[in-house]
Chains A and B, each alone.
Chain A
Amino acid sequence: MIDAIMNSPYVKSLPFLWEGLQVTVAITLIGLFLGMILGALAGLGKLSKIKVIRGFWTVYIEIIRGTPIMAQALFIYFGLSELQLNSFTTGVIAIALNAGAYIGEIVRGAVYSIDSGQTEAGRSLGLTERQTMRYIVWPQAFKRMIPPLGNQFVISLKDTSVFSVIAVSDLIYQARQYYNATFEQFETLVMVCLFYLIITIPAALYLRRIERKMDV
Chain B
Amino acid sequence: MITVKDLHKSFGDLEVLKGIDAQVEEREVVCVIGPSGSGKSTFLRCLNLLEDITSGTVTIDGEELTAEDTDINALRTKVGMVFQHFNLFPHKTVLENVTLAPIKVKGLSVKEAEEIGLSLLEKVGLSDKAQDYPDSLSGGQKQRVAIARALAMEPKVMLFDEPTSALDPELVGDVLQVMKDLAQEGMTMVVVTHEMGFAREVGDRVIFMDEGIIQEEGNPDAIFDTPQNPRTQSFLSKIL
Contact = CB atoms under 8 A, between A and B. Distances in A.
Contact of B76 (A124, A135, A139, A143): A124
Interface residues of A, number: 18
A65 interface: no
Interface of B: 48, 50, 73-74, 76-77, 79-81, 83, 85, 87-91, 100-101, 104-105, 146, 149-150, 153
Contacts of A121: 81, 83, 87-89, 146, 149
B113 to A, nearest CB: 12
A126 B91 contact: no
Contacts of A139: 91
B33 to A, nearest CB: 22
Interface in A101-120: 115, 117-118, 120
Contact of B89 (A124, A136, A143): A136
| Chain A interface, DSSP helix/strand/loop, else mixed | helix
A211 to B, nearest CB: 15
A123 B76 contact: yes
Given A126-B76, A126-B77, 12 more contacts: A117-B87, A118-B89, A120-B87, A123-B76, A125-B76, A125-B105, A131-B104, A131-B105, A135-B104, A136-B89, A140-B90, A143-B91
A110 to B, nearest CB: 13
Contact of B105 (A117, A126, A136, A140): A126
A189 interface: no
Nearest to A129: B73
A162 interface: no
Contacts of B90: 140
Given A118-B87, A135-B100, A139-B91, A124 B81 contact: yes
A128 interface: yes
A120 B101 contact: no
A140 B73 CA distance: 23
Given A117-B85, A117-B87, A143-B91, A126 B101 contact: yes
Given A117-B83, A140-B90, A143-B91, A124 B105 contact: no
Contacts of B89: 118, 121-122, 136, 140
A82 to B, nearest CB: 49
A136 B73 CA distance: 16
12 contacts: A117-B83, A118-B87, A120-B83, A124-B150, A125-B100, A125-B105, A126-B77, A126-B101, A127-B101, A127-B105, A135-B100, A140-B91
Contacts of B149: 121, 125
B74 A126 contact: yes
Nearest to A121: B87
A124 B146 CA distance: 12
Contacts of A120: 50, 81, 83, 87
5 smallest A-B Cβ distances: which pairs? A126-B77, A121-B87, A125-B101, A117-B87, A124-B81
Interface in A43-69: none
A131 B77 CA distance: 14
B93 to A, nearest CB: 13
Contacts of B50: 120, 123-124
B77 A125 contact: yes
Contacts of A123: 50, 73, 76
Interface string A141-163: 00100000000000000000000
A118 B100 CA distance: 13
Nearest to A139: B91
Contact of B48 (A117, A124, A128): A124
A126 B73 contact: yes
Contacts of B91: 139-140, 143
